[in-house]
Amino acid sequence: MVTGNGQEPRMILLRINETYWLYEGEEFLSPMLKGGGYFPTPVICYRFEDHLTLRAFVGAGRPMTDFWGINPDIVERLRRDEHLLESEPPLD
């Protein structure tokens, strides 16, 4: 599946400790939450040390209320099902 901009679809989560937000892939949110239907895998999860590094990545002008909060149990299911790729955020 290719999106309108020619890129493969993806889902990106942001994480600080055990708090998660959906950063990209809102159109696939329902299937991911239900654990059925199509959603792009692996779901990428960027880990942040603190709110300052997260804000630098997201941008100071964008409120966190713009993003869906994701229950840690959902993330644990993704991890258990081997649908989660945890990594450091890109440096650009």
What's the half-sphere exposure (Cβ side, CA atoms, 13 Å) at 60?
1
Q: Read off the pTM.
A: 0.89
**pLDDT score, position 7:** 74
Element at 63 (helix H, strand E): none
Can you give the pLDDT of all 92 residues of the chain as single tens digits? 544 556 788 999 999 999 999 999 999 999 999 988 999 999 999 999 999 999 999 998 999 999 999 999 999 999 999 999 999 998 76
Closest of 36, 34, 31, 28 to residue 73, by C-alpha: 34
Looking at this protein, which amino acid is placed at residue 59? Answer: G
